[in-house]
Amino acid sequence: MTPPLARRAVMAGVAALSLALAAPPAQALVVYDPTNYAQNLLQAARALEQIRNQVSSLQNEATMLLNQAKHLQQLPFSALSDLQRDMSEITALLGQARRVAYDVEAIRREFQQNYPAAFDASATDQALTASARARWMNAMGAFRHVLDVQAGVVGTLGSTQAQAGELVGQSQGAAGALQATQAGNQLLALQSKQLADLTALLAAQGRAVALEQARQGQSAAEAKERLRRFLAPGQAYQAQPVQMFYP
């Protein structure tokens, strides 16, 4: 081999060696695979959709818990104490009835003494006068008691109307089922209070009317006896019972 040819061979070997040294290793090469890329992209989209579904489910659960919390909220208004106070006042007024009060045994004793079923014609004038006065006092006391009960009932009308308006407003603005139920229950309690007031008033009026009718019946029988004594002043008293209009 001539020197020029040897020089050329050496130079070619050096160039090949340089290219070999400059080339990257086979494992460092990046190969683009369209199919694999598409699969990876689809998996990422599915994972993102699952995350979105989970977030939406958590939001729905949170909303449901908030709604449940609203349904369990207590009503911020209570008219129970005012209702109990008003009803106690009416009950106290009923308890102030005197003489022939709301007691079965007391009524029986009073009627046996001053409202006998059979008038005793042998009773003295003083006894007749005392019995008539007792009946008159019973009747007057009963009518006064009716006025007291009426005044008590009328005195609570303002607070009753205010309580009804407040409860209706609370019911309409209820945040949940519990508040609406509590407002409805208090409205029922208010209605029960009004029925109790009406019952008390009717009881007082009925008592007054009954005592007045009994007084009138006894007065009629007593007037007959006094007329008999006036027409026959010298006639001796006789135990001649006169049957009254009630048994």
Radius of gyration of the chain (CA): 52
How confident is the model at residue 146, as a pLDDT?
A: 93
8 A C-beta contact, residue 160 and residue 86: yes
How confident is the model at residue 32, as a pLDDT?
A: 62
Please tell me the pTM assigned to this model: 0.62
Mean pLDDT of 210-234: 84
- Render 127-176 in DSSP notation, one character per residue: HHHHHHHHHHHHHHHHHHHHHHHHHHHHHTHHHHHHHHHHHHHHHHT-SS
Judge whether residue 14 has pLDDT over 80: no
42-95 pLDDT, tens digit each = 888 888 888 888 888 878 877 777 676 676 677 788 888 888 888 888 888 888
Select the highest-mean-pLDDT range: 63-77, 183-197, 228-242.
183-197
Confidence of residue 30 (pLDDT cuts 50, 70, 90): low
Confidence of residue 202 (pLDDT cuts 50, 70, 90): very high
99-117 pLDDT, tens digit each = 777 888 888 888 888 888 7
Q: Report d(CA 182, CA 173) in Å as an integer.
A: 12
Judge whether residue 236 has pLDDT over 90: no
Mean pLDDT of the chain: 79
